[in-house]
Chains A and B, each alone.
Chain A
Amino acid sequence: MMAGNELYVATALGLIFIGLATVTIKRNLIKMVIGFSVADTGVNLLIVALGWFPNRTAPIIDDPSLLSDRATLAVRSAAIVDPVPQALVLTAIVIGVGVTALMLAYVIRLYATEGSLDVSRFGRMKW
C-alpha cells in the first residue's frame, strides 16, 4: 500500500479482524466488550499508520528562527508526517473509552437481570 508501514497496517487489520471475530463468535458478554476494545485499538492503529511516513519528523516547529525563514520552513514542512490522523485518533480513543464504559455498565445490569453473561439469553425480542 505504502512504503514502510505495511507492518503497522497489517497488524491493525489483524487486530480489527480478531476483535470483530470475538464480537461475533464469543457468547460471553465481557469477551464481546473486549472484542470491541481490540477492534477499536486496531482502527486507531490503522489511522495512525495511514498518516505515518518513514523518515519524516513530527509536525512541530522547534526553531523560532524558522518562522521568519519561509524558504526553509517550506522544505521542512514537506518532511513532516500528517498531523491530522493523530488528532483524530486522540478523539477516537476518548470516544472508545466512553463506549466501552457504557457497554460494561450495560453488561452489569444485564447480568443483574438474568444472572448470566450468555448473549443468547438476551434475545427475547425478535421477529
Chain B
Amino acid sequence: MVSPMLLIAVPLAVAFLLPVIDHLGRTATRVVHLATLAFGIVVAGDWLYRLAGGAATAEILTGGWPPPFGINLRLGTAEAVLVLLAYLTAFVAALYLADREEESNVRGTVIQTVLVVGAIGLIMTRDLFNTFVFLEISGIGTYALVVFGREKSGLEAGFKYMVLGSVASIFVLLGVAFLYKLTGTLNLDDMAGKLSQAMVAGSGLILLLLLVGMIAELKLFPLNGPAIDLYDGAEPGVMALLVGTTVNAVFYTFAKMTALYEGSQWVEAITVVGMLTFVIANLFAIRQKKVRRMLGYSSSAQLGLLVFLLPFVRSGEILASTVGLLVVNHTLAKAALLWLAGIEGNEELDGWRGAFATRPLLRVGLVVAVLAMVGLPPFPGFWGKWHALVGLARGGHPWWITILLLGSLLEFVYYFGWLRRVFDGIQERAEALRPLKWTEVAGVVGFTVLLFFGVRMLGEAWGSVAALALAAVGVVLVLASVIPGRMQAAVVLLAVAATAWRLWGTQLVLSDFRGLILTVVLFGAMVVSLAGLGLPAPRKSYWGVFLILVGSIVAMIETTSLLGFFAGWEIMTWSSYLLVSSSQKGSRPAFLYMVFSGGAGFLVLGGLMVALGGGVQTLAGLTTLTGAAALSAWALLAAGFAVKAAAWGAHIWAPDAYAESPDLFTPFLSGVISKLPIFGLGVVAAAIAAPAISYLGRAFDPTHILAWVGGLTAFGMTLLAVFQEDAKRLLAYSSVGQVGYIILGLAVMSPLGWTAALYHVVNHLLFKGLLFLAVAGVIYRVGSRQFSSMGGLIKRMPFSFVSVLIGIIALAGVPPLSGFAGKWLLYEALMERGWLLLTAFMMFSSVIAFLYCFRLIHSIFLGQLKTVHRDVREAPWPLITAQYLLVIPILVLSVRPRWLLDPLQRLVADRFGSSTLQAVGDNTLVSSFGYFNAIAILVLVIVLFVGLLIFLLTAGPRAKKVGPLDIVYAGEVPPPPEELHYAWAFFRPYQRAFQPVLRGAVSAFWRDVADVSEAIADAGRRFYTGNAQTYVLYAFLLVLALAGIGLAR
C-alpha cells in the first residue's frame, strides 16, 4: 500500500523538477508530467478500491506529532473519490492541452501540476492554516494559468478573479487567525469540538468573515462575477482542469468547515446563499448569448446547489454520498462540455447551429453531457438529485423542494436552448473541418463513458430485465450507426416482438391497467418499426434512441417503486425529445416539448416527493396517503400528467411537436406517448384520488376541475383542428383533443367513465396511428404536408385512401365503426355522473370533429389530381402493411366491441366494483340509459349508405369529369397558387364565426411568461458590472448585510 502522502509529495517534487527535466526536451517533460498524473490515478484508485472494500481511513501525521500538535491529513472514501477525480481530470486535461503551446510548455506544465498539488492538499488536510496555504497555492496557480494563451480576455478575467480572490483570502486568513485565538488550535476537528463546547460570544463575526471569504472562493452569489468572467475569458481546457481540481477541492474544504458552523446563526445563511445562487445563476444564464459564459453561470449554480445541501448533510437529513454523486456528475459533465466548447471553438451560441454535424461521436458526447448536467437519468446527477429531494421531503422542507425544482427548470431552458441550436440546421452543415487529434477528444469520450456508471443504479431501480435489455440494444444501435436505417428498424421490430413474446400471457393482459398500456406500447412500437422498413430513418441514431424509449416505457409500466417509475418517465421524456428533434425542422418544437415535459416532470416529481415525505416508497403504497398530503400529491401529479398530455392551457407545445416530428415518429407520439400521462393518471394519481376527494369533503370535488380541463381540451383542440391547412397539424390538434376525452373519462371516476376512457385509449392508438401512417405515406410520395399541394390521390394511392376512410369513421365516433362505442360509453358516463353541461359540450365538439374528418379525406384524396402527381405511386408496402395491421383490429372491435370491453370491465371492477354496463348476448350492451347492438347498427348503416350511393349513381344527369387543365385563366393575375386549390380555407365562414375564441390567448400567455422571465434575467444580470472594484464592494456589502441579519437574531 502506497502512502497517501505521496499523492501530494510526488507531484510537488515533480513540479519543481520539471524545469530541469525540460532540458532533455519537451517530450521528456510531457512524459514525466503524464507519468506523475498516471501514478496519482493508480494510487488514488487503489486506495478507493481498498476503502470501498472496508479498509480503515488513512490518517497521516506530519513530523510524527499527533493532532492537534502536528498537521494531519486524512484519506477516507470521500477524499479518495475527489483525489481520483482530480488526477483523472488533470490527466485528460493535460492530453487536451498538449497542443496548446502556451499551456503545455514547461511553465504551463509546472502550473498544471501545482494546481493538482493544491487541490489534493485542500482535500486531504485537516488543518485550518494548512488549508489557507493550499488555498493560496491553488489561487496563484489559477491566476497564472488563465493568462496563458488567450491574451486579452484571459488577462482581464484573471485580474478580476485575482482581486476578489485576494480579498477573499484576507477574510479567510483573518477568520483563521481569530479562530485560533479563540480555541487555541488549528486542527479542524479539534476546533469544531471546542467551538461547540463553548460558542463564545464574538465567534459569530469571526465565522462570518470566514464564511464570506469562502463564498467568494466558492463562486457563490453575489460574489460569483469574476468567476463567470473567468469561464468566459480563459481557455476552456484550463477551466475543465479547474472544475476537476480546484473547484471540487474548495467545495470539499467548505464541506469540512461546516463542522465549525454547527449551531451557529450562519447555518441558515449557508442554505439561503446556496439556493439563491442556484436559482439566480440559472435565471441569468437563460439570457446568455455566449456558450462559455453560460457554462460559467451553470457552474456557479451547481456549486450553489451543492453548498445548499451541506447543512442538511450535517443534520443527517441527506447522505454525504448523495452530494458526492452530484459532485462527480458535475465534474464529469461540465469538464466534457468545456472540452467540447473548446473543440468547437465558437463563442457565440448562435454559431453552434449544426455543430458536430459530421462528428456523431462528439454529438453523442454533447447530448449525454447535457442530459447529465440537467439531472436526467440514468446519469449520476439524477440519483443525486432524487435522494437529495427525498431527504428534503422527509425533513419537511416543501418550500426548498419547490425552489429547487424551479431552478432546475430554468436549467432545462438554457441547456436545451443550446441543444436546439445544435440540432438546428444539422442537415445543411457539412463543411470540411480541421482534423481532430485523439488527445483532444479523449476527455470528452472518457468522461461521457464514465457518466454511464449511473446505469448501475438504474438496474436496481427498475428491476425489469426486459426494459434493460431493450435499452441496451438501443445503446448498441446508437453506437453502430453504420448499420443501414431499415436494417436497424428490423432489429427494433425483432427486439420489440421478442419482448412481447416473453411477456405474452403474463403481463400482456388487457384486464389489468399495466397490461393494457403495455399492450398498447408494444403493439404501437411494432407497427411503427414495421413501417420503418419502408421509410428512411430520419437520423442515424434514430432507431437506437427509439428502442431506448420503448425500454424506458416498459420499465415505467413494470416497476413497482416510485423511483423506478420516475426514472422511466424521465428517460421516456428525453429519448422522445431526441426523436422529435431528429427531423429537419424539429429542433424548435422539440425544445418547447422538452421545456414543457420538464415542467410536467417536475410537477410529477413534486407530487412523488409529497408521497415520499409521507413515507410511501412504492406505487402500491400510495393508497395509504391521507388528508392534506393526499390532496397536494394528487393535485401535483394530476397537473403534471395534464401538462404532459397537452391539456388545454399547456397545449401549445403539442401541435408543432406532432407536426414537425419525423413522419415515422408522429404515429407513436400520438398513439402511445400521449397515453403515458393517462397511465400516470390511472395508476399513480387515481390511487390517491379517493383520499384527496374525501379530504375536501362534500364541499368541492377536485376531479371536477380535471374533467373540465379534459372537456376544454377536447373542445378547443377539435375546433383548432378544423382550420388547419397542414395534414399533420390537423391530426396533431385532433390527437390532443382525443386525449382530452380520455382525461374526461377518467375524471368521472366511475366504472363506466373508466371503461369509456380505456376503450378510447386502445381505439385512439388504432385509428390515429392508422391516420398518421397513411398521411406519412402520402407525404413521403407527394413531398409536402400542405392540403393545397394534394388532391385527387384516390386513384394513385387507393390503399392509403381506404386506410384514411376507415380511420376517420372510427375517429368521428359515428356508426358503424369502433369509435362509436367509445363515444356512446362516454356520454352515458357523463350523464350518469350528472354532468349534463359537459355532456352537451362534448356532443357539440363531436359534431365539430366531423368537419375536420371530412377535410382529411376530401383535400387529400378527392377532387382534382395535380398534374405533377400523375405518376405518384402508392406508399411503400411496409407502410401499407403496418396500416392494415391497424385496420384489422378496428374492424374486429367494430363487430365485437365486447372482446375489448369485457377485459376492461374486469379491470375497472377491480377498482370500483362492477359497473352499470351489462352485456346481453355477443353484440349487445345495456346501460342504464339504453342499449347498443354493434351488429344491428353496422347492418343499418351499410344498408343506408349503399342505398344512398345507388340513388346518387342512378338518379339525375351524368356528371362530366373536369381535369385541372380544363380551367382557363382569363388574363387576370392569379393569387398565390395554394389559394387556387379547391380545399383552401375550406371552413372560412366558421373561422370568422369563431374568431373571438381563436385569438391564441394561451400562446400569448406563455409568450408573456417567457418574455417576463427573460426581462427579469436581463435586468438582473446587470448586477455583474464587469468592474473589479464593484465586485470587491459586493464582498463588503455581503459582510454588512449578513452581519446585520445574523447578529440581530
* Residues in A lying within 8 Å of B, measured CB to CB: 16, 20, 23-25, 27, 32, 36, 39-40, 43, 46-47, 50-51, 84-85, 88, 91-92, 95, 98-99, 102-103, 106, 109-110, 113, 119-120, 122-127
Given A36-B166, A106-B147, A125-B1022 contact (CB < 8 Å): no
Task: Report how far A44 CA is from B1032 CA in the complex, Å.
Answer: 21
B233 at the interface (CB under 8 A from A): yes
Nearest residue (CB) in A for B176 is A88
Chain A residues whose CB sits within 8 angstroms of the CB of B169 once the complex forms: 99
Chain A residues whose CB sits within 8 angstroms of the CB of B147 once the complex forms: 106, 109
Given A126-B1024, A127-B1021, A47-B1029 contact (CB < 8 Å): no
Please state if A110 and B159 are interface contacts (CB–CB under 8 Å): yes
Please state if A95 and B133 are interface contacts (CB–CB under 8 Å): yes
Q: Which residues of B (118-168) have their CB < 8 Å from a CB of A?
A: 129, 132-133, 136, 139-140, 143-144, 147, 151-153, 155-160, 162-163, 166-167
* Neighbour of A109 across the interface among B153, B155, B160, B229, CB < 8 A: B155
Given A24-B1036, A84-B186, A106-B143 contact (CB < 8 Å): yes
B345 at the interface (CB under 8 A from A): no
B174 at the interface (CB under 8 A from A): yes
Please state if A23 and B167 are interface contacts (CB–CB under 8 Å): yes
B173 at the interface (CB under 8 A from A): yes
Please state if A106 and B162 are interface contacts (CB–CB under 8 Å): yes
Task: Report how far A39 CA is from B171 CA in the complex, Å.
Answer: 11
Chain B residues whose CB sits within 8 angstroms of the CB of A120 once the complex forms: 1027, 1029
In the A-B complex, the 3 residue pairs with the closest CB atoms = A126-B1026, A123-B1026, A125-B229
Chain B residues whose CB sits within 8 angstroms of the CB of A50 once the complex forms: 177-178, 180-181
- B448, chain A: closest CB distance, angstroms: 30
Nearest residue (CB) in A for B173 is A43
Given A24-B1032, A50-B177, A109-B155, A126-B162 contact (CB < 8 Å): no
Please state if A119 and B229 are interface contacts (CB–CB under 8 Å): no
Interface string of B421-441 (1 = CB under 8 A from A): 000000000000000000000
Please state if A85 and B170 are interface contacts (CB–CB under 8 Å): no
* Residues in B lying within 8 Å of A, measured CB to CB: 129, 132-133, 136, 139-140, 143-144, 147, 151-153, 155-160, 162-163, 166-167, 169-170, 173-174, 177-178, 180-181, 186, 229, 232-233, 284, 293, 1021-1022, 1024-1029, 1032-1033, 1036
Chain B residues whose CB sits within 8 angstroms of the CB of A43 once the complex forms: 170, 173-174, 177
Please state if B1027 and A106 are interface contacts (CB–CB under 8 Å): no
Task: Report how far A46 CA is from B755 CA in the complex, Å.
Answer: 80
Chain A residues whose CB sits within 8 angstroms of the CB of B293 once the complex forms: 125
- A78, chain B: closest CB distance, angstroms: 14
Please state if A39 and B170 are interface contacts (CB–CB under 8 Å): yes
* Neighbour of A119 across the interface among B133, B232, B1024, B1029, CB < 8 A: B1029
Task: Report how far A95 CA is from B129 CA in the complex, Å.
Answer: 13
Please state if B158 and A88 are interface contacts (CB–CB under 8 Å): no
- A46, chain B: closest CB distance, angstroms: 6
Please state if A102 and B144 are interface contacts (CB–CB under 8 Å): yes
Q: List 23 A-B contacts (CB under 8 A).
A: A20-B170, A23-B1032, A27-B1029, A40-B170, A84-B186, A98-B140, A99-B139, A99-B140, A103-B162, A106-B143, A109-B147, A110-B155, A113-B152, A113-B155, A119-B1027, A120-B1027, A123-B1028, A124-B153, A125-B157, A125-B1026, A126-B229, A127-B1021, A127-B1026
Known contacts A16-B170, A23-B1032, A103-B166; 10 further A-B pairs (Cβ under 8 A):
A24-B1033, A84-B186, A95-B140, A98-B136, A102-B140, A110-B159, A122-B159, A124-B156, A125-B232, A125-B293
Chain A residues whose CB sits within 8 angstroms of the CB of B153 once the complex forms: 124-125
Task: Report how far A124 CA is from B152 CA in the complex, Å.
Answer: 10
Chain B residues whose CB sits within 8 angstroms of the CB of A99 once the complex forms: 136, 139-140, 162, 166, 169
Task: Report how far A99 CA is from B139 CA in the complex, Å.
Answer: 9
Chain B residues whose CB sits within 8 angstroms of the CB of A85 once the complex forms: 177, 180
Nearest residue (CB) in B for A29 is B159
Please state if A122 and B156 are interface contacts (CB–CB under 8 Å): yes
Chain A residues whose CB sits within 8 angstroms of the CB of B152 once the complex forms: 113
Given A99-B140, A106-B159, A47-B177 contact (CB < 8 Å): yes
Main secondary structure of the interface of A (DSSP, over half): helix
Nearest residue (CB) in A for B1027 is A123
Chain A residues whose CB sits within 8 angstroms of the CB of B1022 once the complex forms: 126-127
Nearest residue (CB) in A for B182 is A50
Task: Report how far A47 CA is from B166 CA in the complex, Å.
Answer: 17
Nearest residue (CB) in B for A106 is B159
Task: Report how far A99 CA is from B152 CA in the complex, Å.
Answer: 20
Determine which residue in B139, B162, B166, B186 has the highest number of CB atoms from chain A within 10 A of its CB, and name it: B166
Please state if A126 and B1025 are interface contacts (CB–CB under 8 Å): yes
- B287, chain A: closest CB distance, angstroms: 8
- B178, chain A: closest CB distance, angstroms: 7
Please state if A106 and B129 are interface contacts (CB–CB under 8 Å): no
Task: Report how far A88 CA is from B144 CA in the complex, Å.
Answer: 24
Task: Report how far A47 CA is from B1032 CA in the complex, Å.
Answer: 23
* Neighbour of B162 across the interface among A39, A92, A102, CB < 8 A: A102
Task: Report how far A46 CA is from B284 CA in the complex, Å.
Answer: 40
Nearest residue (CB) in B for A113 is B152
Task: Report how far A1 CA is from B293 CA in the complex, Å.
Answer: 46
Task: Report how far A16 CA is from B132 CA in the complex, Å.
Answer: 18
Nearest residue (CB) in A for B143 is A102
Chain B residues whose CB sits within 8 angstroms of the CB of A119 once the complex forms: 1027-1029
Nearest residue (CB) in B for A107 is B159
- A77, chain B: closest CB distance, angstroms: 14
Nearest residue (CB) in A for B1033 is A24
Chain B residues whose CB sits within 8 angstroms of the CB of A98 once the complex forms: 136, 140
Chain B residues whose CB sits within 8 angstroms of the CB of A127 once the complex forms: 284, 1021-1022, 1024, 1026
Task: Report how far A25 CA is from B914 CA in the complex, Å.
Answer: 81
Chain A residues whose CB sits within 8 angstroms of the CB of B1027 once the complex forms: 119-120, 123, 126
Task: Report how far A25 CA is from B89 CA in the complex, Å.
Answer: 40
Chain A residues whose CB sits within 8 angstroms of the CB of B181 once the complex forms: 50-51
Chain B residues whose CB sits within 8 angstroms of the CB of A113 once the complex forms: 151-152, 155
- A3, chain B: closest CB distance, angstroms: 14
Chain A residues whose CB sits within 8 angstroms of the CB of B170 once the complex forms: 16, 20, 39-40, 43
Task: Report how far A91 CA is from B1029 CA in the complex, Å.
Answer: 27
* Neighbour of B174 across the interface among A23, A46, A106, A122, CB < 8 A: A46
Nearest residue (CB) in A for B228 is A125
Nearest residue (CB) in A for B133 is A91
- A81, chain B: closest CB distance, angstroms: 13
Please state if A123 and B174 are interface contacts (CB–CB under 8 Å): no
Task: Report how far A85 CA is from B129 CA in the complex, Å.
Answer: 10
Chain A residues whose CB sits within 8 angstroms of the CB of B140 once the complex forms: 95, 98-99, 102
- A26, chain B: closest CB distance, angstroms: 9
Task: Report how far A98 CA is from B139 CA in the complex, Å.
Answer: 11
Task: Report how far A119 CA is from B1026 CA in the complex, Å.
Answer: 10
- B129, chain A: closest CB distance, angstroms: 5
Task: Report how far A36 CA is from B159 CA in the complex, Å.
Answer: 13
Determine which residue in B156, B160, B233, B1033 has the highest number of CB atoms from chain A within 10 A of its CB, and name it: B156
Chain B residues whose CB sits within 8 angstroms of the CB of A92 once the complex forms: 132, 173
Nearest residue (CB) in B for A98 is B140
Chain A residues whose CB sits within 8 angstroms of the CB of B151 once the complex forms: 113
Task: Report how far A111 CA is from B147 CA in the complex, Å.
Answer: 14
- B149, chain A: closest CB distance, angstroms: 13
Nearest residue (CB) in B for A87 is B129
Please state if A122 and B160 are interface contacts (CB–CB under 8 Å): yes
Chain A residues whose CB sits within 8 angstroms of the CB of B284 once the complex forms: 127
- A127, chain B: closest CB distance, angstroms: 5
Task: Report how far A21 CA is from B157 CA in the complex, Å.
Answer: 22
Task: Report how far A124 CA is from B151 CA in the complex, Å.
Answer: 14
Please state if A88 and B1025 are interface contacts (CB–CB under 8 Å): no
Given A24-B1033, A50-B178, A124-B1026 contact (CB < 8 Å): yes
Task: Report how far A78 CA is from B471 CA in the complex, Å.
Answer: 72
Chain A residues whose CB sits within 8 angstroms of the CB of B143 once the complex forms: 102, 106
Task: Report how far A100 CA is from B1028 CA in the complex, Å.
Answer: 17
Nearest residue (CB) in A for B174 is A43
Determine which residue in A95, A103, A110 has the highest number of CB atoms from chain B within 10 A of its CB, and name it: A95
Chain B residues whose CB sits within 8 angstroms of the CB of A36 once the complex forms: 166
